[in-house]
Amino acid sequence: MSLDLTKVAAKVGGMVAKLKAGGAERQERLNYALDVLHNRSIDLDHLKKKIEDSKGKTTWLVAGLVDGLDRHYKAPSTPTEFTILATDGSHIDVDRHKSTRCYLINIGSVILHYGAQSGAALDSFPCLYFGDEDLVIAPAGVGGREQLIEGVLLGIKRNVEECHQLANLAGELSQNSLTLALLDGSLILWGLEAYPEFITEALLTQGFLHYLDDIRKLNNGKRLALASYISFPRSTDVVNVLRVAICPHDPPDCDRYCSPGEKRDCDTVAGVRDRELFVNLLGQGERSDVFISQSSIVRKHYGVHQVCFFYLRVDNEIARVEIPRWVATNVSLLNLVHSLVLDQCQRGQGYPVALSEAHEQAVVTGADRENFWQLVESSLVEEHLSSLTSAKSQSKRTRWI
Closest separation in Å from C-beta 89 to another protein: 19
Q: Which is nearer to another protein, 174 or 365 (CB)?
A: 365
Closest separation in Å from C-beta 121 to another protein: 8
Residue 340, C-beta contacts closer than 8 angstroms, at least 6 positions apart = 78, 82, 84, 178, 180, 225
Query: How many residues touch another protein (CB under 8 A)?
Result: 13
Given the rule CB under 8 A, which of 119-127, 169-177, 236-244, 391-399 is the region that contacts another protein? 119-127
Q: Which is nearer to another protein, 47 or 122 (CB)?
A: 122
Q: Which of 2, 41, 118, 398 binds another protein (CB under 8 A)?
A: 118
Given the rule CB under 8 A, which of 89-97, 108-116, 234-242, 245-253 is the region that contacts another protein? 108-116
Phi/psi for 307 (5° steps) reads -80, 120
Q: Which is nearer to another protein, 365 or 386 (CB)?
A: 365
Closest separation in Å from C-beta 226 to another protein: 21
Given the rule CB under 8 A, which of 118-126, 170-178, 314-322, 373-381 is the region that contacts another protein? 118-126
Q: Which of 121, 152, 381, 388 binds another protein (CB under 8 A)?
A: 121
Of 222, 205, 187, the closest CA to residue 324 belongs to: 187
Of 352, 111, 339, the closest CA to residue 231 belongs to: 352
Q: Which is nearer to another protein, 324 or 352 (CB)?
A: 352
Closest separation in Å from C-beta 363 to another protein: 10
Element housing 129 (H / E) = strand 119-129
Given the rule CB under 8 A, which of 116-124, 162-170, 210-218, 310-318 is the region that contacts another protein? 116-124
Q: Which of 15, 120, 304, 388 binds another protein (CB under 8 A)?
A: 120
Element housing 319 (H / E) = strand 317-324
Amino acid at 274: D
3-state secondary structure 328-366: HCCHHHHHHHHHHHHHHHHHCCCCCHHHHHHHHHHCCCH
CA gap 340, 115 in Å, rounded: 13
373 binds another protein (CB under 8 A): no
110 binds another protein (CB under 8 A): yes
Instruction: For residue 183, give Cα distances in angstroms to 53, 111, 180, 341.
Output: 33, 13, 10, 11
Residues between 270 and 329 that touch another protein (CB under 8 A): none
12 binds another protein (CB under 8 A): no
Q: Spell out, one character per residue from 333 to 372, where the chain touches another protein: x when CB under 8 A holds, - when not.
A: --------------x-----x---x--x------------
Q: Which is nearer to another protein, 8 or 121 (CB)?
A: 121
Given the rule CB under 8 A, which of 38-46, 113-121, 129-137, 272-280 is the region that contacts another protein? 113-121
Q: 124 and 109 in contact (C-beta within 8 Å)?
A: yes
Residue 257, C-beta contacts closer than 8 angstroms, at least 6 positions apart = 249
169 binds another protein (CB under 8 A): no
Amino acid at 308: C
Q: 227 and 342 in contact (C-beta within 8 Å)?
A: no
Q: Which is nearer to another protein, 266 or 353 (CB)?
A: 353
Q: Which residues pair with 229 in a beta bridge?
A: 184, 321
113 binds another protein (CB under 8 A): yes
Q: 306 and 324 in contact (C-beta within 8 Å)?
A: yes
CA gap 71, 289 in Å, rounded: 6
112 binds another protein (CB under 8 A): yes
Q: Which is nearer to another protein, 286 or 343 (CB)?
A: 343
How does DSSP assign 158-185, residue by residue? HHHHHHHHHHHHHHH--S-SEEEEEEES
The SS3 of residue 101 is coil
Closest separation in Å from C-beta 347 to another protein: 6
Give the binding site for another protein (CB under 8 A).
110, 112-114, 118-122, 347, 353, 357, 360
